[in-house]
Amino acid sequence: MADSAKPSNKRKRVVLTITQKLDIIRRLERGENKQDLMRKFNIGSSTIYDIKFQKDKLMKFASSAETSKASDERRTLQQPQHEKLDKILYDWFLLKQEEGIPISGPMLMEEARDFSGKLNIAKECKFSDGWLSCFKKCHGIRKTDISGGKKSADSESADEFSAFFKEFIKKNNINLDQIYNADETGVYFRCLPTSTLTGPNEISAHGFKKNKERLTVLTCANATGSHKIKLLVIGNSKNPRALTGIKHLPVAYKNQKNCWMDRDIFIYWFKCIFVPSVISELKSKGKPEDNKVILLIDNCRAHPSNAELCHRNISAMFLPPNVTSLIQPMDQGIIQNLKMIYCKNFMRRLINAEGTLTEFQSSFTIKDAIYGLASSWNAVKPRTLRRGWRKLLFVTHF
């Protein structure tokens, strides 16, 4: 009978950082035993030979590195494919840091795309999450905070309502394009990120006073993503100076002293915005105007009763308490997507603006915010709108 195989004592492969390699070089120069170093770092003699062979390159890298953090994380001396682009982008990053502008990963990627276009190398570059990770490691960049959790959700009630609602639309023969959901959200329209990418030697990011000017935005769309209702924006000023002389806005605008939704504003939106828009949509699709349409909303105290939200075939239905985070369509990524698009466009304007951060914030008006929100809402894709309904309707093919 053949002998049983003996367990392998093969040494596990170790990839040293630049800092560790430099430490080995210093230890060798002090006369430390090579065998001791091999045991300490769990490496073979060939690795020691390679490190000695690369000594000049390693020392040159260490002397030219912007920070020690880059050497702590980097493991090879491999240069980026496009060194000029890498240098330009890192210089831009340092400049924005000095100006106190928060920088996020997506912003770095967006700027890299712009620079690659100017350098005529856009077709050769792919700015993926992997590229971003390598760029940050190469320069010792990390994420730093600049400066809630969900309410308890009732899963049982959510499941019960989902089953009821699915049966209700089936029993009443209601098409998915005749089911709408509306929900409000707050928008700090001069928004700045709450975190930024920083250099390795910075303990905290440059501070700035958080701008708390707020708007409330009401979003609404149907379950197929084929019909978006134009946004309702609520500010605290009845006649904002920035809107003087503008007769037609891309959103409906109302005012309330705290910028909150209230009963009167919601009734106005339902009767003057929602109902006419739905009737127009039914006509455009050649459907009878008496087709049943459901508006699904949460049980916020600012929302009127069912009796006040009824217009012939168009009526409202309320979600149970404590289920909105689980099944309300607008809370399943739709509002988040709207805000992400808005913030991305806002930060792009900030990056390209001349002057200081404070000057840009002061010059950015409610008019800019309204047009920015309308543009962002238009950019939310039908697929995103459809996906928001999957949990409520148990539909996976959305």
Q: What is the pLDDT of residues 271-289, one digit of tens each?
A: 999 999 999 999 999 988 8
Domain of residue 378, CATH code? 3.30.420
Q: 263 and 115: one domain?
A: no
Q: 102 and 216: one domain?
A: no
For residue 134, the enclosing domain spans 83-139
Q: 35 and 111: one domain?
A: no
Structure tokens at 157: 């009630």
Q: 60 and 88: one domain?
A: no
The answer to which of 67-71, 124-128, 279-283 has the lowest mean pLDDT is: 67-71
Domain of residue 130, CATH code? 1.10.10.60
Q: Quote the CA–CA distance of 214 and 184 in Å, as a whole number.
A: 13
CA distances from 112 to 48, 79, 193 (A): 37, 17, 19
Is residue 5 domain-resident?
A: no
Do residues 162 and 394 make contact, with C-beta atoms less than 8 angstroms apart?
yes
Q: How confident is the model at residue 314 (pLDDT cuts 50, 70, 90)?
A: very high
Is residue 271 domain-resident?
A: yes
Interior/surface letters 132-154, b for 16+ CB within 10 angstroms, e for the rest: beebbbbbbbeeeebeeeeeeeb
Q: 165 and 65: one domain?
A: no
| Cα 297-233-300 angle, rounded to 5 deg | 30
Predicted confidence (pLDDT) at residue 151 exceeds the cutoff of 70: no
Q: 115 and 135: one domain?
A: yes
Higher per-residue confidence, 224 vs 20: 224
Question: What pLDDT score was predicted for residue 90?
Answer: 83
Q: 135 and 283: one domain?
A: no
Question: What's the one-letter identity of residue 17?
Answer: T
Is residue 153 domain-resident?
A: no
Predicted confidence (pLDDT) at residue 241 exceeds the cutoff of 60: yes
> In terms of DSSP bridges, do strands 293-297 and 228-235 run parallel, antiparallel, or are they unpaired?
unpaired
Higher per-residue confidence, 289 vs 33: 33
Q: 129 and 268: one domain?
A: no
CA 150 vs. chain centroid, Å, equals 18
Least Cα distance to 136 among 53, 216, 74 occurs for 74
Least Cα distance to 347 among 177, 195, 151 occurs for 195
Predicted confidence (pLDDT) at residue 72 exceeds the cutoff of 60: no
* Residue where a domain stops, chosen among 73, 91, 120: 73
Question: What pLDDT score was predicted for residue 211?
Answer: 61
Higher per-residue confidence, 142 vs 186: 186
Q: 256 and 357: one domain?
A: yes
Least Cα distance to 364 among 352, 382, 380 occurs for 352
Predicted confidence (pLDDT) at residue 180 exceeds the cutoff of 70: yes
Q: Quote the CA–CA distance of 375 and 266 in Å, as a whole number.
A: 23
Is residue 111 domain-resident?
A: yes
Number of compact structural domains in the chain: 3
Question: What pLDDT score was predicted for residue 148?
Answer: 42
| Cα 223-167-178 angle, rounded to 5 deg | 30
CA distances from 298 to 174, 183, 268, 275, 353 (A): 20, 7, 18, 18, 40
Is residue 257 domain-resident?
A: yes
Q: 382 and 356: one domain?
A: yes
Predicted confidence (pLDDT) at residue 267 exceeds the cutoff of 70: yes
Longest dimension (CA), the chain: 97
Q: 112 and 31: one domain?
A: no
Is residue 204 domain-resident?
A: no
Is residue 113 domain-resident?
A: yes
Interior/surface letters 195-217, b for 16+ CB within 10 angstroms, e for the rest: ebbbbbeeeebeeeeeeebbbbb
Burial-class residue 163 by CB neighbours within 10 Å (0-12, 13-18, 19+). exposed
Q: 22 and 48: one domain?
A: yes
Average pLDDT on 298-318 reads 90
Is residue 150 domain-resident?
A: no
